[in-house]
């Protein structure tokens, strides 16, 4: 039986008097590939922040197996990043090694080679010296994926990883996600493209402020469930 790497037990998340996610119970199995989907305002990003420990539960629990928090890495939404800071693409990617290298250890040749290999893997081999503010949206997303490669985490959470990027970039980055899954890593991604979810993600969690359905994608993304999710987010049945 596959063990759970993340368990949610009647979890509610939000701020002050606003509950964004209500009474969600379920588990992400170790090595699973899961899409979190739902209408705008469904609580998808809030759930990711809760799992990462950036938002504290209002009620219920988030249980992580072993030292899973240390073995977790997150790719935030592009809009949450300050791209005006004058940092190079190389240095952005190298930040992924911080947990392994620490604050005081010298960044040695082996780590430099890791950064160069990660940049090459995402198609940015010659972009290391470029300031991140000069990158296109797709190039920036490739750089963030390279940073995830440096993390070498067992559990990866990605918040809208394909937003505002072209089709070629999406295909390249989706191939990386599938490679991580084949390696046995747990991959959880917030997505809007339901056809992509149906094509590549065996598991799905449909949110609408609460869990509408969670399980095999074909059983989750039914017309009835999607219809219910839209109405719940519109407040029709709350």
Model confidence pLDDT, tens digit, residues 150-178: 998 999 999 999 988 899 999 999 999 99
> Coil, helix or strand for 194?
helix
Higher pLDDT pick, 208 / 238: 208
Phi, psi of 136 (to 5 degrees): -75, 170
> What does pLDDT average to over the chain?
91
How confident is the model at residue 102, as a pLDDT?
63
Q: What is the maximal distance between C-alpha atoms in the chain?
A: 58
H/E segment holding residue 9: strand 4-15
Place of tokens 């949206």: 137
Rounded distance, CA 232 to CA 40, Å? Answer: 11
> Which residues constitute the domain of residue 16?
4-234
What pLDDT digit, counting tens, does each position of 22-69 carry? 999 999 999 999 999 999 999 999 999 999 999 999 999 999 987 666
**Which CATH number does the domain housing residue 89 bear?**
3.40.50.300
Say what the pTM is.
0.91
Closest-CA residue to 210 (of 39, 85, 43): 43
Q: Which residues pair with 207 in a beta bridge?
A: 211
Instruction: Kindly indicate the confidence band of residue 237, based on its pLDDT and cuts at 50, 70 and 90.
Output: very low
Torsion of CA 202, 207, 213, 217, to 10 degrees: -20
Token pair 């219920």: residue: 60
Sign of the CA dihedral running 16, 17, 18, 21: positive
| Domains of the chain: total | 1
**Interatomic CA distance for residues 97 and 115, integer angstroms:** 9
Number of H helices, E strands in the chain: 9, 9
pLDDT in the model for residue 18:
86
Residue 45: the pLDDT is 94
Residues forming a β-bridge with 57: 13
Q: 164: exposed, middle or buried (C-beta count within 10 Å: 0-12, 13-18, 19+)?
A: middle
Highest mean pLDDT among 67-71, 74-78, 118-122: 118-122
Please say if the pLDDT value at position 106 is more than 70: no
Are 100 and 86 a contacting pair, CB within 8 Å? Answer: no
């Amino acid at each position: 039986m596959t063990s759970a790497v993340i368990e949610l037990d009647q979890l509610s998340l939000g701020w002050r008097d606003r509950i964004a996610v209500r009474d969600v119970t379920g588990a992400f199995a170790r090595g699973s590939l899961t899409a979190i989907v739902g209408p705008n305002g469904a609580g998808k990003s809030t759930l990711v922040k809760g799992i990462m420990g950036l938002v504290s539960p209002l009620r219920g629990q988030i249980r992580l197996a072993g030292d899973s928090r240390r073995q977790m890495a997150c790719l935030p939404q592009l809009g949450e990043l300050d791209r005006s800071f004058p940092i190079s693409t190389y240095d952005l990617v190298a930040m992924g090694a911080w947990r392994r290298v620490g604050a005081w250890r010298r960044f040695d040749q082996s780590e430099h080679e890791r950064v160069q290999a990660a940049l090459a893997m995402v198609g940015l081999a010659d972009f290391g010296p470029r300031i991140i503010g000069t990158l296109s949206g797709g190039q920036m997303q490739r750089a963030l994926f390279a940073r995830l490669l440096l993390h070498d985490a067992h559990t990866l959470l990605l918040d809208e990883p394909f937003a505002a990027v072209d089709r070629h970039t999406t295909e390249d980055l989706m191939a990386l996600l599938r490679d991580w899954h084949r390696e046995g890593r747990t991959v959880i991604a917030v997505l809007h493209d339901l056809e992509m979810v149906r094509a590549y993600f065996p598991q799905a969690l449909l949110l609408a402020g609460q869990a509408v359905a969670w399980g095999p994608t074909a059983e989750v993304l039914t017309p009835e469930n999607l219809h219910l999710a839209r109405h719940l987010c519109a407040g029709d049945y709350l």
